[in-house]
Amino acid sequence: MNAALSQDEPGFERACLEFLQLPDQVQASGLRVRGLSEKELGPTACDLLRRAYCDDAGLTADLHAPGVEEAKKAVAKINLAREMLQTYAPDWAREFDLLAPQIYLAVNEDPTKSGFVGATVFAAFGSILVNSDKIDRLPTVLMTLVHESSHAKLFLYHLDDPVLLNKDTERYTSPLRSSPRPMEGIFHAAWVSARMVQSATCILDNGFCGSDAEELRRQSTQASIIYQDCATEIQRHARMTPLGRQLFDDAQRAMSDVRC
């Protein structure tokens, strides 16, 4: 698409050849978790996904698949988290299955980097990227699945219509980044944080207990703080479209219900 829009004929031809080289795969039903590697995906698919997930902050610019044992542990944690969603928040589980039936595992090449926990991009819709080094506990996996699939849901809402009129060059304070970022990133952060709080509340209210419950409650509280910080920036600086206003008002009401 980018090559066509820029009238880059050689680039367009190369892109077409890449797609022709992709293997025909029948997607099995249910969640599928794989490493972001040429061995598991093939060189072309792996390259396309790497480029799709490469972010502007450099957090996902140097990735490789985890080792065999690390991948097995991550797959087990993710499958357990999906089972917990089904048990304690079945509506959230069904939504996740529709939004992100494919998960790719990756870690940073440079171990000294703080790295990323997860990533979602519209160019790889239907999948999420998860850092297997960062999902140490069940609550973290649960919140990562909700966080990343919530980005995908918001992509669907403004697929054709914008939610904001702020320019991409405008930068504002964000609680999730050390440097200012565009308002759309802050809007996304608010949206997914609200949904993390909602889903955690649902899971806890339906009987999830023990030490993992306490950790989930702590992460939910942190998400609530992030939401409030983002919401303050949105109220001060965002120029929302009617759709954006509706989505933001829905998030505000949801957070008010949770607090009640």
Per-residue confidence of the chain (260 residues) as pLDDT tens digits?
888 989 999 999 998 888 887 766 655 668 999 999 999 998 888 988 998 998 877 788 889 999 999 999 999 999 999 999 999 999 999 999 999 999 999 998 887 776 789 999 999 999 999 999 999 999 999 999 999 999 999 999 988 889 999 998 999 988 777 688 999 999 999 999 999 999 999 999 999 999 999 999 999 999 999 999 999 999 999 999 999 999 999 999 999 988 64
Burial of 260 (0-12, 13-18, 19+ CB in 10 A): exposed
Altogether, the residues listed in the chain come to a count of 260
For the entire predicted model, the pTM comes to 0.90
Burial of 74 (0-12, 13-18, 19+ CB in 10 A): buried
The C-alpha atoms of residue 170 and residue 155 are separated, in whole angstroms, by: 20
H/E element, 168: none
